[in-house]
Structure 1
Amino acid sequence: MLPEWMRPLCVPWENDFSVPFPAVAGLWPSGQDWFAEDVRRDDFRLDEGFFGVPGMPSLEAIRAAWDWADSGGLEPALFLSIVPGELWDRSVVVAAIEGC
């Protein structure tokens, strides 16, 4: 399901076969810099709008908050659901941001 490079970064891994479909795993919380992975990887992308949560900040705003916290010596973390980028298309994996 996950690309080989992603497996060691997905800890702690929580199986999530409940709603919202089609999430297959959750990372709650993850201190990994997924913004850097989004730039580095062609088979991965972050998405703040996947679940349509009203009032969710933009990806740029979440990134700015991450950078601010990181530069201030804090430990930023994201709450992510791992979903196929296209239903059952294994060429892209999406980390859908649920909170930060």
Structure 2
Amino acid sequence: MDNYLENCRKHLVTLSEWSEPIELVVGNESCDLDSAVSAVGLAFIKHTEYNKVESNNRLVIPVLNTTRNELQLKTEVIFWFENSVHLSRDD
């Protein structure tokens, strides 16, 4: 999961150059822990399934449906990312 999310971050930097299909998995606007985990989990599952087909280069990106400022208030989501997914607030 860590590698998948790191690859998503790298692809976002060069997204304008991506020529294959892109699929966004958007969480609920409340961005509670269950919504964040669901968006990331479903995106990872879709990514894994698409990669079983060699010719498929679809990019699947999870989206937390909130602003950076509001995300800082979601302490349970921040805790999960830092401790389970190993992404910090600086990422």
TM-score by length of structure 1 reads 0.30
The structure richer in strand per residue is: 1
TM-score by length of structure 2 reads 0.32
